[in-house]
Amino acid sequence: MGLLAITPTAFASRVGAKPVFSRYPFSLGVASGDPAPDGAVIWTRLAPEPLEEGGMPMKAVEVGWEVASDERMRQVVAKGNAIAPPDLGHSAHVELQCLEPGREYWYRSRAGDEASQIGRFVTAPAPGATVGRLRFALCGCQHDETGYFKAFRHLAAERPDFVFHTGDYIYEYRAEGAARPGRVRQHNGDEIYTLVDYRNRYALYKSDADLMAAHHAAPFIVTWDDHEVDNNWAGTADQDGTDPQLFLLRRDMAFQAWYENMPVRRAQLPKGPDLQLYRTLRFGSLIDFHSLVTRQYRSDQACGDRSSRAAPRPLIRIGQSSAVRRSSGWTGSSRLVRRPGRCSGSRLRSTSATSTASPASAG
């Protein structure tokens, strides 16, 4: 298999000189997501001062990345450069393509003289392949103040094929840890409203060593619930009756920060206060995995967000879910299928939200 070389294009003129960081820039780790039969997204966000707006200069920074077929990164099968622009909180999203289906890969990033931690992902089985077993973890509603994230440490040790995160990746609430019994930690600052607020809150959560270990161990498929924006938000309504036009400004900033901090594809880049979050991922003939959205396209909750005797409770609580369409018995390993003409020979391709691919053959 050959190597991929990626050259920055549109952002090339904005890239600053080789950066020198005052502190380790990969404080938020690396992550992968949305596995496909031929690749996945790999992500990082440079933040030497993670809780203070990242601590990066207002310049685009080049981030090198490489993917290997072994855990020690000795057999590199793809590498390239992406751009981490200030417009996106110095995050970099790389969409890998032309990898092999149904197998493990490892990856890391570099910036300046610093190298990131090493992460692992597993590509999805080949389209239509008979798959007898898939191991994935389900998680959500991780409130930093109300508990430690030790479950993520155990999740990481089990090395699942992927992790489905059902949302409430952060909570927007103000710091209450010191004032309320049972709280084990404290949020950074007041309730979050601005893009900087959301960035700093994601940094707080993503600095957690156990959550970071889970990201390093497996690709995540993420959706959101309400707390990525505001408690109980629905469509253009928040829980406080804010003017919808004002709330959409907050939603816009929350969506941008979410994109910056999640290993998702460019298809999920926000367009103002809108973001296409729903998507389907396929795992051979075993699962069509529909990641749903239950907040963005709906009317407000009844009864001012409160339960009432006058309002009958719904029989079914609608939440984030996935749909398992069909299953089949175990008959063997995945079948490798390549799309004709796209990844032939030693050519590999990749796209990034902040760089474009220039396929090349190398050793």
Residue 226 CB, shortest distance to Fe ion, in Å, is: 7
Q: Which residue is nearest to Fe ion (CB)?
A: 141
Nearest to 82 by CA among 67, 94, 90: 94
From the list 268, 351, 343, the residue with the least C-alpha distance to 94 is 351
Q: What is the CA radius of gyration of the chain?
A: 21
Nearest to 350 by CA among 107, 164, 162, 114: 107
Closest to 239 in 3D by CA, of 287, 303, 152: 303
Beta carbon of residue 168, minimum distance to Fe ion (angstroms, whole number): 4
- DSSP string across 77-111: EEEEEEEE-GGGTTEEEEEE-S--TT-EEEEEEEE
CB of 244 vs Fe ion, minimal distance in Å: 23
Measured from the CB atom, the residue of 169 and 247 that comes closer to Fe ion is 169
Nearer to Fe ion, 197 or 226 (CB): 226
Q: Residue 332: is it exposed, middle or buried by C-beta count within 10 angstroms (0-12/13-18/19+)?
A: exposed
Cα 44 to chain center, whole Å? 9
Min separation Cβ 48 and Fe ion, Å = 31
Q: Which is nearer to Fe ion, 59 or 143 (CB)?
A: 143
- If the CB atoms of residues 146 and 346 are measured against Fe ion, the closer one turns out to be 146
Q: State in angstroms the smallest separation of the CB of 329 from Fe ion.
A: 36
Residues in contact with Fe ion by the rule CB under 5 A? 141, 168
Query: Given the complex with Fe ion, which of 168 and 228 has the nearer CB atom?
Result: 168
